[in-house]
Amino acid sequence: METRKLGALDVSVIGLGCMGLSYGYGPASERSDAIRLIRAAHERGVTFFDTAEAYGPGINEDVVGEALQPVREQVVIATKFGFRDGVPANGLDSRPDRIRR
């Protein structure tokens, strides 16, 4: 797969947005199915994966992490944050201590 520079990172030109696996488009995928899909994307050359703490909340990051753990040094995982307890309805919270957690 072709790659591109994203700042100092080299990432695949096609990334996998993982939101739909646990949030936003109906019921969450079965965990095993989601892991299988993420790993299949990597096997096909995808090295850029996008998630967020609000997708689940927290579930999506856990699934992405588990799926990519065996190849962690070969991929880039982007995550978004900034909601209190990872729940958009709880309001914003981007304080430095929250970001570190």
- The predicted-structure confidence for 31-69, as pLDDT tens digits, reads as follows 999 999 999 999 999 999 999 988 988 899 999 999 999
Q: Are the beta carbons of 23 and 61 closer than 8 angstroms?
A: no
Structural domain span for residue 94: 3-100
Pairing state of beta strands 48-52 and 76-80? parallel
In CATH, what number is assigned to the domain containing residue 61? 3.20.20.100
Nearest to 44 by CA among 10, 14, 68, 73: 14
Catalytic residues: 55
Q: Check whether 93 has a pLDDT greater than 80.
A: yes
- pLDDT value of residue 61: 93
Give CA–CA dist 28/95, Å, rounded: 29
- As for how many domains the chain has, the answer is 1
- pTM, whole model, 2 decimals? 0.89
Stated as kind and residue range, the H or E segment containing 12 is strand 9-12
